[in-house]
Amino acid sequence: MDLHFFRRIPDLPPFAPMKAFILCCFLFFSPLCAAETNASQCRLRVMDARELTVQADLIARVRVKKAKDIRDPLYGQIATLEVVEVIKGDPRLKEVTVWAMTKIYCATDAYVRGQEFLVFLAHEQTLYRTLNFQYGQFLIGGPTIKGWRTPNPDASAAPEKTYEQIKNEIQIYLEPLRPQGETPVPPQTGIPLVPKPETE
């Protein structure tokens, strides 16, 4: 910055150029400091994989069919998800509608058309919501799932795992929830069940 500019302005008091320079620096850096402060104050509780599994009403591999912005006091988006495979929940589901973009500080649960996710969903009114906000949706990129939980959810680097590995891990968490003696039901792929014809 050219401090001579301020010296050319008449009737400026002593040290005015330096004060102006300090003011400009403050205006430039204060938004950056505020953004960093806001990020450090983001303290959403992160559920571990076991808690997500137990609390979820539906665990499924899904593909985002459509997503649109809405005006709602609690949510900013509503998404239609095509069910690819059900791990926990109603195996007959082919589509689910999910409230998203929760209007809570630091929540970033959102869906983009065409993306594929492993999602942990909870019932919300007549639809669903993403359990634990963005920490209950895991983007599937190729054979691996991004951001899967570690034993310590605050760990900086999550290990890469394939979808099949994570599905097996979820099945282990589901085992104690099944009634004693019940045989695990294989995950379904969204194909509707056709009722058998009644026999006379």
**Count of structural domains, the chain:** 1
Q: Per residue in 57-110, pLDDT tens? A: 999 999 999 999 999 999 999 999 999 999 999 999 999 999 999 999 999 999
Is this prediction's pTM over 0.85?
no
Where do the DSSP E strands lie in 56-173? 58-69, 75-88, 95-102, 116-124, 127-130, 137-141, 144-145, 161-162
The answer to whether residue 40 is domain-embedded is: no
Residue 89: domain span: 49-177
Residue 9 has pLDDT above 60, yes or no: no
Residue 126: partners with Cβ closer than 8 Å, 6 or more residues away: none
The answer to whether residue 84 is domain-embedded is: yes
Residue 186 has pLDDT above 80, yes or no: no
The answer to whether residue 185 is domain-embedded is: no
Q: Per residue in 39-48, pLDDT tens? A: 456 778 999 9
Q: Burial letters for 84-103: b for 16+ Cβ neighbours within 10 Å, e otherwise?
A: bbbbbbebebeebebbbbbe
**Tokens at residue 166, please?**
């994570």
How many other C-beta atoms can be found within 10 angstroms of the C-beta atom of residue 55? 13
- Radius of gyration of the chain, Cα coordinates, nearest whole angstrom: 25
Return the higher-pLDDT residue of 24 and 114. Answer: 114
The answer to whether residue 11 is domain-embedded is: no
pLDDT at 4: 52
pLDDT at 137: 96
The answer to whether residue 34 is domain-embedded is: no
The answer to whether residue 13 is domain-embedded is: no
Q: Which amino acid is located at 189 in the chain?
A: T
How many other C-beta atoms can be found within 10 angstroms of the C-beta atom of residue 108? 14
pLDDT at 95: 98
Return the higher-pLDDT residue of 111 and 11. Answer: 111
Q: Per residue in 116-169, pLDDT tens? A: 999 999 999 899 999 999 999 999 988 889 888 865 555 455 667 899 999 999
The answer to whether residue 171 is domain-embedded is: yes
Q: Is the CB of residue 140 less than 8 Å from the CB of residue 116?
A: yes
The answer to whether residue 194 is domain-embedded is: no
At 126, which CATH number? 2.40.50.120
CA distance 141 to 86: 18
